[in-house]
């Protein structure tokens, strides 16, 4: 009886050890990827505080993010890769001939990210932004822009930039898209006035498109915007 009891204990221990090792083997790629991506997470977090990542550091971080994505094919790593490629495209120290490739790489990785996890308003907006920078066809810009709104309409940090990206395409919009842009503009005016005024000064300094969008719908907001732009000049 005692021999059987010990045998059962050893069997249970052996089974538990085997299961633990199997679980560890399955989890190991995730742990490796997470460890490799940690410097990328920290750098992106700091970027949103001081808006700086040194050019050479960008290349190192791209390497880390690429390794993480190859080790564990997760949307978060593709999104991080997309953001880093986007920053490299914007970086004034990136050679001019390499910027277009950086933006296309940002586009490719953003597509991979939203394919795996569609509810990512930032990634959709980055996709629209990159295509806008590259002068792609209007509908290829507006389609991801609309998805950014659908997946995060009230995401306050995106409101002003959404308006800035979409306003130049007003003439290509149907009524539904115009209504979405109008909604985003009014939300931005309510929540992010300074950011919105900066976007309008850059994208629509004479407020020609803004007037076309708001006239007959929000006259009070339009009057306030006109006064705000005049004051900021």
Distance CA 54, CA 61 (A): 10
pLDDT of residue 23: 55
DSSP reduced 3-state for 120: coil
CA dihedral 162→166→170→171, nearest 10 degrees, is -160
Percent of all residues in the chain with a pLDDT value above 70, rounded to a whole number:
88
Looking at residues 118-141, what average pLDDT do you find?
Answer: 98
Six-digit token pair at 82? 């997309």
CA dihedral 74→75→76→77, nearest 10 degrees, is 60
Domains along the chain? 32-117 (no CATH), 118-233 (1.25.40)
Six-digit token pair at 107? 């586009």
Distance CA 128, CA 142 (A): 7
Q: Which residue has the higher pLDDT, 202 or 7?
A: 202
pTM of structure: 0.86
User: 231: pLDDT confidence band, cut at 50, 70 and 90?
Assistant: confident
Distance CA 169, CA 136 (A): 11
Percent of the chain that is helix, strand, coil (3-state, to 5) = 85, 0, 15
Q: Which residue has the higher pLDDT, 72 or 23?
A: 72
pLDDT of residue 65: 94
pLDDT of residue 21: 43
Looking at residues 180-202, what average pLDDT do you find?
Answer: 96
- Report yes or no: 215 and 222 within 8 Å, Cβ to Cβ: yes
Distance CA 207, CA 179 (A): 17
Length of the chain: 233
User: 30: pLDDT confidence band, cut at 50, 70 and 90?
Assistant: confident
Answer positive or negative: Cα dihedral of 127, 132, 136, 138. Answer: positive
pLDDT one-digit tens code per residue, 57-73: 999 999 999 999 999 99
Q: Is the pLDDT confidence value at 100 over 80?
A: yes
Angle between helices 138-151 and 175-191 (to 10 degrees): 50
* φ/ψ of residue 135, rounded to 5: 60, 40
Q: What is the pLDDT of the chain when averaged over all its residues?
A: 89
User: 133: pLDDT confidence band, cut at 50, 70 and 90?
Assistant: very high
pLDDT of residue 115: 97
């Amino acid at each position: 009886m005692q021999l059987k009891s010990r045998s059962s204990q050893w069997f249970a221990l052996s089974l538990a050890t085997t299961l633990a090792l199997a679980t560890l083997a399955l989890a190991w790629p995730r742990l490796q990827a997470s460890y490799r991506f940690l410097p990328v997470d920290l750098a992106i977090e700091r970027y949103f505080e001081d808006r700086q990542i040194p050019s050479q550091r960008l290349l190192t971080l791209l390497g880390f993010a690429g390794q993480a994505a190859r080790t564990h094919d997760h949307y978060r790593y593709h999104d991080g890769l997309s953001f880093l490629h986007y920053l490299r495209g914007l970086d004034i120290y990136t050679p001019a001939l390499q910027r277009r490739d950086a933006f296309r790489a940002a586009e490719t990785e953003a597509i991979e990210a939203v394919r795996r996890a569609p509810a990512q308003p930032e990634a959709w907006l980055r996709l629209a932004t990159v295509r806008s920078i590259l002068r792609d066809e209007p509908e290829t810009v507006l389609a991801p822009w609309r998805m950014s709104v659908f997946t995060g309409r009230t995401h306050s940090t995106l409101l002003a930039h959404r308006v800035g990206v979409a306003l130049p395409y007003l003439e290509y919009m149907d009524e539904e898209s115009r209504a979405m842009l109008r909604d985003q503009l009014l939300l931005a005016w309510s929540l992010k006035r300074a950011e919105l005024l900066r976007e309008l000064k850059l994208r629509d300094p004479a407020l020609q498109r803004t007037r076309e969008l708001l006239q007959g719908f929000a006259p009070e907001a339009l009057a306030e915007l006109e006064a705000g732009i005049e004051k900021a000049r």
